Structure 1
Amino acid sequence: MGADRTTVPDHPIGPMPQTWRECVGTGRLNLALRSDYRESLAVLQRDIGFRHIRGHGLLSDDLGVLRESGSGVRRCSFTYLDQVFDAYLGLGVTPFLELGFMPGRLASGDDTVFWWKGNITPPRDHGEWAALVTALLRHLIDRYGLAEVRTWPIEVWNEPNLPQFWKDADQAAYFRLYETTARAVKEVDAGLLVGGPAISPGSDDWWAPFAEFVAASGSPVDFVSRHAYTSGPAQHIPFGTYQTLSAPQDLLAQFAAPREHLAGTALAGLPVHITEFNSSYRSDNPIHDTAFHAAYLAPVVTGGNDLVDSFSYWTFCDVFEEENIPTSLFHGGFGLLTHRQVPKPAYHLYAFLARMGAHVLARGEDHLVCRDDDGRVSVLAWQPVGGSDAPAAAERHEVRLSVPVAAPAAFLRRERVGEHDGNAFAAWRELGRPFSPTERQFDLLRDCARPAVEHSAPPVAGGRVELDLALSRHEVTFAEVLPVRPAHHEGLDDRRLLGGSDARLVAAHELP
């Protein structure tokens, strides 16, 4: 027996949220100097259009912001940074500044993270760090204008609760860094937005001490931030990782956590930014390349808008090198796009969202329905999936909807992404998993990455169209119903396409 039919209301229940596109993540900022990265960002902005972009390494030595001559003379150099930010703004996306890692000349130690050696130690002199932050922000304001830079959130460091990212995960040392940085930001301009603590999952015990510290010290804070992932311990293989996953609803619970923990504190009511989220926190986990991943994320990107002010998918493309340089085109990278701009199923999920209507008509556990002012109804539907402990997804999932149409006729267009359709990862496996595809193979992969498309003219009865969407395993589907008012063409008769007057001529030659 099929699923019950949901009657979608005629009138909107609210505007289509845009929180999901407020920010997207990227590998370290130095990577933006590469052509493959910029080509991927251009595709992303054309099809989706994010507002902000956040990545590591703004102050790391490989971007060269702080330089020192052999004789000990220091100078700020913004040559590379200007190229990065000019490119971002040229593509319609603005920075979400993450202040880190520590320049070697200011660092109190030699501890680093990643193969590109981001320094994770506190400054040996907090005054020198404040001077660097001040010089950076004044340069950005001079180049891009105060009104523009006031719209760029400024986050202090990255995951200081983890010893991999902040030496010894020293909370007191981070709080001192936060205070120094936040005061330096506000001394440049009181309208600049600063916040933190950018903590990773599993460290909600940082919220109360952070709130108490900023209240006691009077440190400025305009927003709070954290990260969200749902994967378990790493199961390593050569150049790859597998992990268990909790249910996607766990991501939504993590989104909600900051406001729950800060209720009743001085930070209650502040904007909340999830500045990184994904299923796995590993950049070599094949789950990121799959159709399952798109279905897994669908309830998160449609439901997270109610919980936070932004949630930033980590990351937009596979030009990313935390675990060193990837050894294969498909390698489990975080990206929505592979190298050379091959879309993954999760990319299509975001591209579908970008095409949804302006007004929400209905939301459910497996669908979102919107409408535009011109009467177009758009539907995003997906097969619900669970985590590692959940039963395997069925081979078929039905979404049955009755949607309003303000016209005597309708046109239905549907796009499918699943285990076969719109799935370049599946095609790559069938091609023998080539490490470095040829140009011909890249062309094939891009062709196979396109969603399957179908169209029809469904009947309209009583101002409604009945949609019966049968979804395959792990499918995410996008459908749009357009109102149609048929035009009359004098003399046209499709039954006479072969030049005769007998409709049997058409049937005999199997014309439509």
Structure 2
Amino acid sequence: MRITVAEQPVGRLNDAWRLAVGTGRFDLALRRDYQDSLALVQREIGFRHIRGHGLLSDGVGVHRPYEYQGRRHVRHAFGYVDQVIDAYLELGIRPFVELGFMPSGLASADQTVFWWQGNVTPPRSHNEWADLVRATVAHLVDRYGIDEVRGWPIEVWNEPDLKDFWQDADADAYHRLYEVSAHAVKDVDAGLQVGGPALSPGADDTWLPRFAEFVTDRKVPIDFVSRHAYTSGPAQHVPFGVHQDLAPAQRLLEQFASPRRLLAGTALAELPVYITEFNSSYRPDNPIHDTAFHAAYLAPVLAAGGDVVDSFAYWTFSDVFEEVGVPTALFHGGFGLLTHRQIRKPTFHLYAFMNRLGGQILARGADHLVTRDDTGRIAVLAWAPVDVTGREPVDNHTVRLSLPIADGTARSAFLLRSSVSDEAGNAWRAWCELGRPPSPTARQLDVLRQAAEPARRHASLPVAAGRVELDLHLTRHEVTLAEVSAVTDETPPWWDERRLLGREPS
């Protein structure tokens, strides 16, 4: 069935999908490959904020206790913080600040998480923690200016509902930490944004209402609510990796919407909701992240997520990431849109396609999103349905559209189509065909970069009665961007293609 797309917009495409993106721990941003990767992402996609763990962990060196004249003192040092944030701002991206994890010199116990051992215990002294938060936020304001830092959300901790991330998953202890932290932030400036509780997708439905009740009863500042979303099941471990089943992508949208459902009728009901992490698998070693399936799986989420939430941050922009250790191969199932050495994955291209969409929504459906920009260019994002069981993948799927052309004088339109699929724009598939080299040679890297390019084609389409008929035939796990623009024919009157090889016209 052909879908007739209306001439008038049915809505605006918001930028919730690009408001933030995730990253590996804070101090990884000091590395050249990290900054090269982020520069590429910003050039082709353009996120507004970046969020990661470990700002206050020992590797960044902010909290520095010492003894002097028989007394304990603390020095706050921001050399690494400055280098990282300076680099972020130069690349056109701003911090989404996460307050965590606990510096060892302030920790109440030695429980840690990740290969790099972020401490996840409450502070020995809440007063000293408050001093640390105030000093850090005040430094950011002094260095970057209050108007700038007021635009940086500040989130308190990460997934305190999980024992791995917060000792005993103690809600009361987290509420105390949030209260101290929020007041410390507001001590610096009342206009700064602070929020939480950054709950995991597995948090029970009582966590968020109890948090809302606590901050309301005690009049604790809160400017936004945050949680995370993933759709993978239990990990099936293999050496240096995992496999997991996946719920349908609709489950992500349901998780995005859950904070508003749980907070309905509370004092927090109207606050912005930020999904500060989302992906399919919660593991950084699941090969599904590297595949074309993954791009097609997430396409409907990117197309519709902004309808239910204010921001949803893909976890993460790059495979420069070491939560379970240093990766053992170029493609290792990392979260990133890019591998090490800046090989684009199919999901990178999904985001790059989103960046090419216009602001006016003309039509949307289960397999497509049609937009128009201020120049009249129409951009269609379309995707093949996926089967999360893997038993019945869709090999052929067609989206048929009748598109309005704003220029009433145009006789033709130019089509530029870019696609990724199992067979195109899929560097992971090429890597497999090369024998899965853990550390590709320079030539192999060149091959992978070429294989990562989307398939591109172009055509001239006739305009009849102000419309173009467009049939998008999609192969397995294909995501495509079709851009259609009216053509102004400026061919000179003497041009005759029959003379291209010197023949005289008959």
CA contact (8 A) 1:230 1:250 kept: yes
1:257 alignment partner in structure 2: 258
2:39 pairs, out of 39, 42, 55, with 42
Q: In the aligned structure 2, how far is the partner of 1:17 from the partner of 1:187?
A: 33
Q: In the aligned structure 2, how far is the partner of 1:77 from the partner of 1:434?
A: 42
User: Per-residue CA shift, 1:61-96, capped at 9, x if unaligned?
Assistant: 000001134655421110001000000000000000
Q: In the alignment, is residue 282 of structure 1 matched against residue 268 of structure 2?
A: no
2:462 alignment partner in structure 1: 459
Q: What does residue range 43-122 of structure 1 map to in structure 2 within 5 Å? A: 43-69=40-66, 71=68, 72-122=72-122
Q: What does residue range 429-468 of structure 1 map to in structure 2 within 5 Å? A: 429-468=432-471
Which contiguous aligned blocks of 4+ residues in structure 1 show a shift greater than 3 angstroms? 69-73
Q: In the aligned structure 2, how far is the partner of 1:386 from the partner of 1:188?
A: 50
2:129 alignment partner in structure 1: 129
Aligned residues: CA RMSD: 1.1
- Alpha-carbon offset, residue 490 of structure 1: 2.8
Q: In the aligned structure 2, how far is the partner of 1:373 from the partner of 1:46?
A: 21
- Alpha-carbon offset, residue 357 of structure 1: 1.2
Q: In the aligned structure 1, how far is the partner of 2:67 from the partner of 2:338?
A: 42
2:159 alignment partner in structure 1: 159
**Matched residue SS, 1:340:** helix
Q: What does residue range 68-467 of structure 1 map to in structure 2 within 5 Å? A: 68-69=65-66, 71=68, 72-203=72-203, 204-388=205-389, 391-405=391-405, 406=407, 407-467=410-470
CA contact (8 A) 1:246 1:386 kept: no
Q: In the aligned structure 1, how far is the partner of 2:100 from the partner of 2:475?
A: 44
CA contact (8 A) 2:386 2:394 kept: no
CA contact (8 A) 2:212 2:267 kept: yes
- Alpha-carbon offset, residue 387 of structure 1: 2.6
Q: In the aligned structure 2, how far is the partner of 1:164 from the partner of 1:401?
A: 49
**Matched residue SS, 1:461:** coil
User: Per-residue CA shift, 1:276-330, capped at 9, x if unaligned?
Assistant: 0000000000000000000000000111001111000000000000010000000
- Alpha-carbon offset, residue 245 of structure 1: 0.3
- Alpha-carbon offset, residue 392 of structure 1: 2.0
Task: Work out the percentage of aligned pairs sharing the same amino acid.
Answer: 64
CA contact (8 A) 1:211 1:262 kept: yes
Q: In the alignment, is residue 486 of structure 1 matched against residue 489 of structure 2?
A: yes
- Work out the number of aligned pairs and report it: 499
CA contact (8 A) 1:60 1:101 kept: yes
CA contact (8 A) 1:367 1:379 kept: yes
Q: Which amino acid aligns with 2:479?
A: V
Q: In the alignment, is residue 22 of structure 1 matched against residue 19 of structure 2?
A: yes
1:509 alignment partner in structure 2: none
User: Per-residue CA shift, 1:35-54, capped at 9, x if unaligned?
Assistant: 00000000000000000000
Q: What does residue range 490-509 of structure 1 map to in structure 2 within 5 Å? A: 490-501=493-504
**Matched residue SS, 2:448:** helix
**Matched residue SS, 1:401:** strand
User: Per-residue CA shift, 1:131-158, capped at 9, x if unaligned?
Assistant: 0000001100000000000000010000
TM-score by length of 1: 0.96
Q: In the aligned structure 1, how far is the partner of 2:504 from the partner of 2:359?
A: 47
Q: In the aligned structure 1, how far is the partner of 2:386 from the partner of 2:67?
A: 58
Q: Which amino acid aligns with 1:226?
A: R
Report which stretch shifted further, 362-371 or 63-72: 63-72
Q: In the aligned structure 2, how far is the partner of 1:426 from the partner of 1:91?
A: 31
**Matched residue SS, 2:474:** strand
Q: In the aligned structure 2, how far is the partner of 1:63 from the partner of 1:178?
A: 22
User: Per-residue CA shift, 1:16-61, capped at 9, x if unaligned?
Assistant: 2111000000000110000000000000000000000000000000
CA contact (8 A) 2:385 2:394 kept: no
1:7 alignment partner in structure 2: 4
CA contact (8 A) 2:295 2:479 kept: yes
Q: Which amino acid aligns with 2:337?
A: L
- Alpha-carbon offset, residue 502 of structure 1: 5.4
Q: Which amino acid aligns with 2:130?
A: A
CA contact (8 A) 2:63 2:74 kept: yes
**Matched residue SS, 1:470:** strand
- Alpha-carbon offset, residue 110 of structure 1: 0.6
**Matched residue SS, 1:159:** coil
Q: In the aligned structure 1, how far is the partner of 2:28 from the partner of 2:469?
A: 48
Q: In the aligned structure 1, how far is the partner of 2:270 from the partner of 2:359?
A: 27
CA contact (8 A) 2:387 2:394 kept: no
Q: In the aligned structure 1, how far is the partner of 2:170 from the partner of 2:127?
A: 19
Q: In the aligned structure 2, how far is the partner of 1:189 from the partner of 1:392?
A: 56
Q: Which amino acid aligns with 2:278?
A: F
**Matched residue SS, 2:342:** coil
Q: In the aligned structure 2, how far is the partner of 1:278 from the partner of 1:144?
A: 32
- Alpha-carbon offset, residue 384 of structure 1: 1.8
Q: In the aligned structure 1, how far is the partner of 2:356 from the partner of 2:233?
A: 34
**Matched residue SS, 1:457:** strand
**Matched residue SS, 2:461:** coil
Q: In the aligned structure 2, how far is the partner of 1:113 from the partner of 1:74?
A: 24
TM-score by length of 2: 0.97
Q: In the aligned structure 1, how far is the partner of 2:66 from the partner of 2:173?
A: 29
Q: Which amino acid aligns with 1:60?
A: S
2:477 alignment partner in structure 1: 474
Q: In the aligned structure 2, how far is the partner of 1:111 from the partner of 1:372?
A: 52
**Matched residue SS, 2:260:** helix
Q: In the aligned structure 1, how far is the partner of 2:387 from the partner of 2:464?
A: 37
- Alpha-carbon offset, residue 14 of structure 1: 2.0
Unaligned runs of 5+ in 2: none
Unaligned runs of 5+ in 1: 504-512
Q: In the aligned structure 2, how far is the partner of 1:80 from the partner of 1:98?
A: 16
1:508 alignment partner in structure 2: none
- Alpha-carbon offset, residue 476 of structure 1: 0.1
CA contact (8 A) 1:248 1:386 kept: no
